[in-house]
Chains A and B, each alone.
Chain A
Amino acid sequence: MNRHHATGIVTAFAWMVLGFLALPAFAVVPISFTDTRYLSMPDEHFSLQHWRAFLSSSEWHNSIWQSLWIATVSTLAAVVAGTLCAIGCWRVSSRWSERVRTAMILPMAVPTIVYALGIYRLYVDLDLVGSAIGIVFAHTVTGLPYVVLTVSASLANIDPRLEQAARGLGASVGQTLRWVIVPNVVPGILSGAIFAFIHSWDELIVVIFIGGRAFFTLPRRMWDGINDNLDPVIAVVATGMILFTLLVLSAELALRARRPKS
């Protein structure tokens, strides 16, 4: 076979696969403008009826609001705790701190359903099912790995002697953190924050178990909607979620572009 021919076929096939990866999610955009009452592409003309239904629905508004503030609070908590943890592990740098750092990644590796059972049982005992603080804590601890990983990656590029120098010049640990270490890992912290935020924003399985009757975050209401009736309003919500994710992700990419290459 001709050389260019073979390479051409491989590349063309690769682009088809890439199309399969990148495009399908966007099908929800035209579907959200359908003029029918069921899930389909617009039949005769584009219609805003489902967007109007979404905009006038207090249920969906509540869900957006709940999702937003739960994600914000748990991201803040995960960023503070995760950054401190990553810095501590970096500075201690012993066998035990390495183990701590490995353990922090567990929530990414263990299937969510297992954790959902466990946290549900704990919250039944503590009477935290259906409580805001319960969900925030669960999303914080499962968001920690993202922050620990990204901040650790940033720290790997810092010369440890910087810290040594600051301490040698009389700075306290607090001052060293505040003025020397943290400013050097801001990109890592922000990336971690973005990932932790998306994690909470998208999280479904844990909320199904511990949300009780009070908490219907956006993913949970979507899940119920898909299982109940496949109303095209869900396509509107899905469109909104994709737009939001793209927005947050482009912020991450902009940060990455500014970060010095290691």
Chain B
Amino acid sequence: MPSQNDARAGWRPRHGTYWLIILPALAMLVFLYLVPLADVLVTSITDPKPGLDNYLLLFTSTSVQKTLLTTLRIAALTTFIALLLGYVVAYAMRAANSSQQRLMLFCVLLPFWISVLVRSFAWIALLSSRGPVNAGLMAWGLIDEPLPLVRNETGVLIGMVHVMLPYAVLTLYANMRGIDVRLVAAARSLGASRFQAFRMVFLPLTRPGLIGAGTLVFILSLGFYVTPALLGGGKVLMIAEYVAVQINDTLRWGLGTMLATTLMLSVLFALWALSRIIDVKRLFGA
């Protein structure tokens, strides 16, 4: 609160008590969160021996590179699809009347609060070869054989888009709400077609929203564990599951912590870069 500056000056002596009530949460954060994260980082450069050997694996190990590529590819595809679908939903939400808007917002927020585990399970059931989606398609005669929709990359993408779409919609919608629609009307009155007005006036104004939503979805997609593990059926190994496998099955702590550190630093760096463009705290609901 910058406006409080002058009033605050005379208050400083009393702030001691307020720092004291910050302390329990801060202590927990430091000892039970930051220390463990630091330990992951340290392990990555000390296990099995000190040095950056683990990080060399990023450039030399084919299985690590394959995992990284899979992760990047799925995160990029998820981002692309979520932006496309999210843009349409946010656009329609902006144009809808307020009662429709409320219902639309409800549809967006509802899956947001249903656990990712439950949703992944529902998708397994829906998309399996004997599931209702394939049964429906076959009953309509659209296909003769069940489509392989799950335990592969298609399944992972469907599940991940489903999880990420609310983030895209909410970020894009927040951006679109701030746009002065009279600009579009002005373009129209100056002779632009509907499509021209959209492409040359509205679309450029939503660029910050697209960048914000895209970066956020991409970052969050990188660290996904549950959805790819369940809907990929062990065939689509993304970085988080790969890390878990290293720790649980092969006990390669050095490799596991190195990938975890790489993941964490990439995410934090991207968030920091994003925070220079938009107010990141808003994205987390502040």
- Interface on A for B, CB 8 Å cutoff? 1, 3, 6-7, 10-11, 13-15, 17-22, 24-28, 31, 38-41, 80-82, 84-85, 87-89, 91-94, 97, 100, 102-122, 137-138, 140-142, 144-145, 148-150, 152-153, 160, 164, 167, 173, 177, 198, 201-202, 204-205, 208-209, 219, 222-223, 226-227, 230, 234-235, 238, 241-242, 245, 249
Write out the residue numbers on chain B whose beta carbons fall within 8 Å of the beta carbon of A6: 194
| CB under 8 Å from chain A, chain B span 222-252 | 222-223, 225-226, 230, 240, 243-244, 247
Instruction: Judge whether B114 and A88 touch: CB under 8 Å.
Output: no
A194 to B113 alpha-carbon distance, docked (Å): 11
Instruction: State A11–B125 Cα separation when bound (angstroms).
Output: 29
Q: How many interface residues does B have (CB within 8 Å)?
A: 86
Contact A122 B108 (CB under 8 A): no
A-B CB pair tally, cutoff 8 Å: 258
Q: Is the CB of B22 within 8 A of A230?
A: no
The yes or no answer to B24 lying at the interface (CB within 8 A) is yes
Q: Please give, as numbers and ranges, the residues of chain A lying within 8 Å of B281 by CB-CB distance.
A: 102, 105, 149
Interface presence of B276 (CB below 8 A): no
- Is B4 on the interface with A (CB-CB < 8 A)? yes
A85-B130 contact, Cβ under 8 Å, with A21-B165, A238-B121: no
Q: How many angstroms from the CA of A195 to the CA of B118 in the assembled complex?
A: 17
> Are B261 and A89 closer than 8 Å at their CB atoms?
no
Does A106 contact B285, Cβ atoms closer than 8 Å? no
B190 on the interface (CB 8 Å rule)? no
B positions within 8 Å CB-CB of A: 1, 4, 7-8, 14-15, 17-22, 24-26, 28-29, 32-40, 43, 85, 88-89, 91-93, 95-96, 104, 106-108, 110-111, 113-126, 128, 130-132, 135, 162, 165-166, 194, 222-223, 225-226, 230, 240, 243-244, 247, 256-257, 260-261, 263-264, 267-268, 271, 281, 284-286
Q: Which residues of A contact B230 (CB under 8 A)?
A: 226-227
Q: Do A88 and B19 touch across chains, with their CB atoms under 8 A apart?
A: yes
Instruction: Please give, as numbers and ranges, the residues of chain B lying within 8 Å of A102 by CB-CB distance.
Output: 281
Distance between Cα atoms of A120 and B40 in the complex (Å): 10
Residues of A within 8 A of B95 (CB): 7, 10-11
How many Å from the CB of B179 to the closest CB on chain A?
16
Q: Are A110 and B264 in contact (CB under 8 A)?
A: yes
Chain B contacts for A138, CB-based, 8 A: 32
Q: Which of A21, A117, A144, A226 is close to B124, meaning CB atoms less than 8 Å apart?
A: A226
Closest residue on chain B to residue A204 by CB atoms: B117
Q: Sample 14 A-B pairs with CB under 8 A, ordered by A number.
A: A14-B89, A18-B89, A20-B162, A82-B25, A104-B29, A109-B284, A113-B240, A121-B43, A152-B286, A173-B18, A202-B115, A205-B226, A241-B115, A242-B114
**In the complex with contacts A27-B132, A109-B271, A137-B35 CB distance below 8 A:** no
Are B22 and A112 within 8 A (Cβ)? no
Alpha-carbon gap, A108 to B113, bound state (A): 15
Q: Are A173 and B17 in contact (CB under 8 A)?
A: yes
Q: A11-B92, A160-B4 given as contacts; is B243 within 8 A of A153 (CB)?
A: no
Nearest CB in chain A: distance from B171 CB, A: 15
Contact present for A140 and B284 (CB under 8 Å): no
Task: State in angstroms the CA–CA spacing of A137 and B35 once bound together.
Answer: 14
Q: A109-B268, A111-B264 are in contact. List 10 more A-B contacts (CB 8 A).
A: A18-B104, A21-B166, A24-B122, A27-B125, A111-B240, A117-B257, A118-B40, A144-B29, A219-B117, A241-B114
Min CB distance A206 to B, Å, is: 11
> Which of chain A's residues have a CB closer than 8 A to the CB of B247?
117, 120, 209
Min CB distance A48 to B, Å, is 18
Chain B nearest CB from A60 CB (Å) reads: 15
